[in-house]
């Protein structure tokens, strides 16, 4: 029985903060040949109608579109939010989305170290840090055994 008195998963957060119950994530299912062909066909279909889609976005952005109802042209006023969405879509496709600002810092919030290291130096540094951790673990185990 858990702390809440219910049998099964504990109530609240079942894992420690920052840990996942599935650290590897869901496995990626490989795409079948049929699915890849379908995606390609959809891409080609969309590219063939690109100019038409841009014309439609321009009409939406301008605020009035003309449609045919019972073979008669009817003008429809486009709501401002739809106009804004169309303008945004056009700008994204014409100029690309704005770059996202990313703040980067080095170890402990300090500056990023940009020293040129060879692959050998990187490997030696990693092996030394692993050896240090193993020594610390061994020392902790020996201390625990001495206390018992």
The pLDDT of residue 72 is 93
Distance between CA atoms of 95 and 84, rounded to whole angstroms? Answer: 16
**What pTM was estimated for this model as a whole?**
0.43
Q: Are 65 and 59 in contact (CB under 8 A)?
A: yes
Query: Taking a C-beta distance cutoff of 8 angstroms, is the pair 26, 20 a contact?
Result: no
Cα separation, 127 vs 145, in Å, equals 27
Domain ranges (residues) in the chain: 32-96
Mean pLDDT of the 49-61 span: 89
Distances (CA, A) of 21 to 1, 4, 9: 20, 20, 12
Q: What is the pLDDT of residues 62-121, one digit of tens each?
A: 999 888 999 999 999 999 999 999 999 888 888 888 888 887 887 787 777 777 777 788
Q: pLDDT for 16-30, tens place per residue? A: 777 777 777 777 788
């Amino acid at each position: 029985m858990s702390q809440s008195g219910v049998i099964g998963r504990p109530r609240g957060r079942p894992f420690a903060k920052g840990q996942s119950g599935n650290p590897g994530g869901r496995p990626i299912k490989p795409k079948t040949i049929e699915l890849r062909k379908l995606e390609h066909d959809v891409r080609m279909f969309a590219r063939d109608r690109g100019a038409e889609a841009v014309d439609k976005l321009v009409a939406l952005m301008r605020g009035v579109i003309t449609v045919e109802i019972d073979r008669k042209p009817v003008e429809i006023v486009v709501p401002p939010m739809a106009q804004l969405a169309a303008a945004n879509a056009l700008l994204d496709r014409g100029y690309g989305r704005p770059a996202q600002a990313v703040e980067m810092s080095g170890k402990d919030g300090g500056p990023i170290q940009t020293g040129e290291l060879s692959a050998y130096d990187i490997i030696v540094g990693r092996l030394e840090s692993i050896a240090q951790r193993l020594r610390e673990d061994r020392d902790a185990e020996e201390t625990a055994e001495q206390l018992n």
